[in-house]
Amino acid sequence: MKEALLGWTALNLLPEIGPIKAVRLLEYFPDPINLFRKKDKKGLTGIPGINLQDVDNILKFDLKEAEVELQLAEKRGFKILDLSDPDYPPLLKSIPDPPILLYVWGGLTEEDQLAIAIVGTRLCSPYGRIQAERFASSLAESHFTIVSGIARGIDTAAHQGALRVKRRTIGVLGSGLLEPYPPENRKMMEKMASSGAVISEFPLRIKPERHTFPRRNRIISGLSRGVLVVEAGIHSGALITAALALEQGREIFALPGPIDQETSFGTNNLIKEGAHLITAPEDIIVTLYPTLPFPKTPPAAPEPETTSPDKESEILALLSRHHKSGIEEIASRLNLSLAETGSLLTRLELGGKIKQIPGKQYTLFPP
C-alpha cells in the first residue's frame, strides 16, 4: 500500500474538510501523510481557515480507516487518483476547488480532454429526452466524451445516447461508488464503466444527500470544455452546473424550448443571459474547436440535419385529422424515428404552428 495514497485517502475521509480546506492544508503539508504522522498541533492551529475542531479531527484520526478504504477499493476494482497523480484529469485540476481524490470505476483517458457536459432536469419531457440522446450520440460520434450526472431524466438520456453509438461517457455520482443513485441505473453504470467511467469524490460508503449533488456539479463542469443545458426549470440543479461552468471559464450552451413549458424556463433564460443558443450538434463543435489548447484533428461535424417540408406537412395534416397526438403515435403513424419526430415537432413548435398541451400531446396552434 502506497504511503502517499494513504495520506490522501485519510485527508478525504476527514469530517468537515471540504476541497477548500483540504487545499489550504496541502499548502502547509504537501504530502498529506505528514498531517497524521507528525501530529503537529501548533502548526495546524496556525493555518488560516482551519478551526480547532478540524485540528482535533486530524489529531484523532486513525489511519486504519484509510487502510480499510483502500483495501475495499482494490477489492472492488476501483482506481483512486489523487491531485498529484499524473493521470488526474488536467481540466478538472485547473478549477479553483478540485476534488483532492477521485474514485474511478472504469478508466479515464487522454481522449476525455475533449469532453462536453449534457445536463438538465430529472422531470424531462419527451422532447428533452429525445434531444439529449440525439445530441449525445452525435457529439460522441464526433469524438467528444459525454459527461453528466447519473440522475433520472436528461442525465440518463445523455449517457444512453453515447452508449448507443458505443462511445465514451463519464458519469459523476453525488454519493460513494458503493452507494450509487438512482439504483435503477446500476446496469447502465456497468456499461459506462466498461467503455468510460463512473467517478466520485466521496468515500465509498457515502450515501446520497441533498448537499452532495450541488458539490458534484462542479466536477461535471470541471471535466468538460462546455456545458449543454437541454431542459431546466427556473430552480433546476442544472442551472447550478451552468453557473459553476461560467466561473470555471467554460462555454455555456442551451437548447431553446416552448415559452409556456416550465422545463424550458431555465434554458430560455440562459439564452437571454448570453448562453449560446444551439439547435444542432455542429453548433457546439464549431464554437469549441477554436478554444482547444492542443493540436488535434478537428472532430468531424455531423451532417447538418435537413427537414423535409413534406414531413412537416404530414404532421400538420395528422394533427388536423386527430386534433391531438403524442410523439410516439405521430412517429408510428408516419413511420419516423422518435429522434426525427422530436426534431420536426420542435421546429413546428418554434415556428408557432403547433403547441404542446397537458398529457404530453401536441395540437395545432391556433387550433
In three-state form (DSSP H/G/I as H, E/B as E, the rest C), the secondary structure along 168-233 is CEEEECCCCCCCCCCHHHHHHHHHHHHHCEEEECCCCCCCCCCCHHHHHHHHHHHCCCEEEECCCC
Residue 228 exposure: Cα atoms within 13 Å on the Cβ side: 34
Query: Do the domain assignments include residue 282?
Result: yes
**Residue 302 placed within a domain:** no
Instruction: Give the pLDDT of residue 293.
Output: 65
3-state secondary structure of 132: helix
Residues 114 and 223 occupy one common structural domain: yes
Residue 332 is assigned to a structural domain of this protein:
yes
**What helix, strand, coil percent values describe the chain, rounded to 5?**
50, 15, 40
Same domain (yes/no): 238, 356: no
CATH number, domain at 234? 3.40.50.450
What is the total count of domains within the chain?
3
Q: Where in the sequence is the domain holding 351, given as residue range(s)?
A: 309-364
Q: What is the pLDDT of residue 338?
A: 67
Cα distances (angstroms) measured from residue 278 to each of 108, 175, 234, 268, 349: 28, 32, 19, 11, 16
pLDDT of the chain along its 367 residues, tens only? 577 899 999 999 999 888 889 989 999 999 999 999 888 888 898 899 899 999 999 999 999 999 999 999 999 999 999 999 999 999 999 998 999 999 999 999 999 999 999 999 999 998 899 999 999 999 999 899 999 999 999 999 999 999 999 999 999 999 999 999 998 999 999 999 999 999 999 999 999 988 888 889 999 999 999 999 999 999 888 999 999 999 999 999 999 988 888 989 999 999 999 999 999 998 998 888 777 766 545 555 555 555 566 888 999 998 888 888 888 788 878 887 666 777 788 778 777 888 888 777 889 977 6
**272 shares its domain with 195:** yes
Which distant-in-sequence residues (6+ apart) come within 8 Å of 321 by Cβ?
none
Same domain, 137 and 232: yes
End residue of a domain, out of 265, 291, 317: 291
Q: Are residues 275 and 194 in the same domain?
A: yes
Residues 282 and 323 in one domain: no
Residues 260 and 124 placed together within one structural domain of the fold: yes
> How high is the pLDDT of residue 11?
95
Residue 220, φ and ψ in degrees, nearest 5: -60, -50
For residue 91, is it within any domain? no
Domain assignment present for residue 82? The answer is no
Single out the residue in 50, 73, 96 at which a domain terminates.
73
pLDDT of residue 308: 60
Residue 250 lies in a domain: yes
Q: Which of 119, 108, 106, 111 is nearest to 143 (CA)?
A: 111
Give the pLDDT confidence score for residue 67 in this predicted structure: 96
**Same domain for 338 and 254:** no
Q: What is the β-pairing status of strands 276-277 and 325-326?
A: unpaired
Cell digits of residue 316: 400538420
Are 315 and 270 contained in the same domain?
A: no
Q: What is the CATH classification number for the domain harbouring 339?
A: 1.10.10.10
Q: How far apart are CA 28 and CA 66, in angstroms?
A: 21
Residue finishing a domain among 73, 92, 124: 73
Do residue 285 and residue 321 come from a single domain? no
The DSSP letter of residue 273 is T
- Assess whether 203 and 340 both reside in one domain: no
Give domain status of residue 301, yes or no.
no
User: Domain for residue 94, yes or no?
Assistant: no
Check residue 367 and give its pLDDT.
Answer: 60
**Do 217 and 330 reside in the same domain of the chain?**
no
